[in-house]
Each structure stands twice: as C-alpha cells, then as structure tokens.
Structure 1
Amino acid sequence: MVRILLLQLPFYSTWYINFEWIKESPNMFYFIHIPIVLLFAMASIWLFNNIDVKNMDKKWFRFLFQGTEWLAVVRSGQFLKEIESFKHN
C-alpha cells in the first residue's frame, strides 16, 4: 500500500503549474522545475522497487518507517520469526 502511495510523489510538485507561468518564464520551468519533477519521479520509482520487508534492517528504511505504528509491525515480524524457528526445532 505504501509503495503505491509513493508513486504519487512527482505529482505533488506539479499542483501549482499554470500556463501563464510557463509562458512568462520558460527557462525557469524547463531548467529548474522539470528536473525537480524528474528527480521526484526517479525517487518514487526507486522507493516503489525497494520498499520491501527484506530491506527492513537497512538504515534508510528505518528512517522512512519509524514510530509507534511501525514498531508494532517490527515486533510482530520478530515474533513470527521466533514461531518459525520454534517449529523447526
């Protein structure tokens, strides 16, 4: 679910674009705003591909997903790992 939500990231940098702004200052639009939108698009695609449970121990993942809600998910994952190891022993 979070992966799909992060695909919207580039659109948050386009909500204020209007045609008058493009006509009045095209250099600002093409050389500043378009690269920013492309950067947001690349970041959202990278996050979509890399947000997964297997990356849960990485520092960037913990930075993005922190707080009491995520802590409960981490603890439940640890509990499931304990249950699996108990089944194998």
Structure 2
Amino acid sequence: MENNEIISLWKAYGKRLDESLRLSRQNTQHITQIKVQSFLSAMRPLKVFAVLAGIIWVILVDSLIIRLAPVANLFFLVSAAIQVILTKLAIGIYLYQLILIHQTDISEPVVATQRKLAALKASTLWGARLLFLQLPVWTTFYWNETMLANGHPILLTIQAAVSLSMTMLAIWLFFNIRYRNRDKKWFRLIFAGKEWTPVLEAIGILNEVQAFQREDN
C-alpha cells in the first residue's frame, strides 16, 4: 500500500472519529438535559401542593383576623398577622419557582439552565428562612392579658423561655441557612427530600458537562 493511500485512510479514519466524538458529545448533552428536566419535574408536585395549601391557609387566617379583629386580643392579632404575611411571601417564592421550572427548556444552552437552577437554589433558601421566622409567633398567639396578670410564675417563666428560644432559633436559622452550610448535618436534615436534592443533583450534572466542554475545547 502506497504512502498516499495510507495517508488518505488515516484522514478518513480521523474524520469518522471526529464525527463520532461530536455525536457522542451531542448525545451526552441531550441525555443530561433530559435528566435535569426530570429532576425539576420531580419538584413540581410538591411546590404546587405547597402553593394550594398556602393559599387555603392564608384565606382562613385572613378571614379569622378580619372577623375577630374587634374582639381578639392583641397577641393573637399580631401573631396571626406576622404568620400570614410570611406565608404570603413564601407562596410568592413557590410561584416564582414554578415559573422557573416551567421556563426551563432542555434545548437551551447549559449556562442558561445553570442560571435558572441558581435562582431555584437561592429562592429555596429564602423560602426556608421566611418560614422559620414564623417559629416565635406559634408560641405567642395564645397569650392574653389574663394569663400574664394571673398566670403561675413557673408557667410564665417556661412560656417566656420557650418563646425566647424559638425567637433565637428563628434568627439563627435566618442568618445561617446559606449554601455554604449545605454539608452540615443540621442543614441536610432540614433540606432532605424533593425540595432541595433535585436542584443539587441537576446543578452537579450541569457542572460536570460544563467541565467536560471546557476540557474538550
């Protein structure tokens, strides 16, 4: 076999190899996008349920506040108002996340999907912060003037300790629920499940694809 024929065969083999690699990269990216879409779809039912349940809860609490405003004590009204405001903010976050999930297109570039996942991650953390801020009001809504004036000192001390503890815990969680703490045991305990895990899995897959693309370039 002459040298020219060998060179021609080598070039043809190189072209076929390049084409195979190109198709392999395309298939890998397509499979990755499908996996990401699957992870995000797994989050949708829980968020839809949270929105519907939250709306029902807000309607009930708002109705109670309006109906009982003339006769209810101040502790109940303030506690209920704080709780329902935080719940409304959380509902807004869940609606925003559902929009992000709906807008995620498996055919869009990896960077665009990464931006949506980053927004999902950040909003999930904010939603948790807001919901945990409700902790103190669950220990104060039943307070009243009679209880404070005539209650047993020991019971009042216990009540004050519980309310103070919940307040400190809520503040601590608000400032410490951050992505940098994701590997800590308490963080994993709070965020275990379909509220958080699919986002991390999707981010991890896209990061691997992006790293592969950089190496390939």
By the TM > 0.5 criterion, same fold? yes
Give the corresponding residue for 1:2: 128
Structure 1 stretches of 4+ with a deviation exceeding 4 A read: none
Selected match of 1:60 from 180, 186, 196: 186
* CA 1:77–1:54: 2 relative to 1, 3 Å: farther
| Structure with the greater alpha carbon radius of gyration | 2
Measure the CA separation in 1 of the matches of 2:211 and 2:133: 36
Identity of aligned residues (%): 38
Measure the CA separation in 1 of the matches of 2:209 and 2:178: 21
Q: Which runs of 5+ in 2 are unaligned?
A: 1-126
Greater relative contact order (CA < 8 Å, ≥ 6 in sequence):
1
1:24: how far off? 2.0
1:66: how far off? 1.1
Give the corresponding residue for 1:50: 176
Selected match of 2:197 from 71, 77, 85: 71
State yes or no: 1:36 paired with 2:186.
Answer: no
1:52: how far off? 0.8
Whichever structure has more helix as a proportion of its residues is 2
Q: Which runs of 5+ in 1 are unaligned?
A: none
Measure the CA separation in 1 of the matches of 2:176 and 2:214: 30
State yes or no: 1:81 paired with 2:207.
Answer: yes
Aligned length: 88
Measure the CA separation in 1 of the matches of 2:150 and 2:204: 56
Measure the CA separation in 1 of the matches of 2:150 and 2:194: 47
1:87: how far off? 5.5
> Please, what TM-score do these two structures have when normalized by structure 1?
0.81
> Please, what TM-score do these two structures have when normalized by structure 2?
0.37
Cα RMSD after superposing both structures: 1.8
Measure the CA separation in 1 of the matches of 2:213 and 2:182: 23
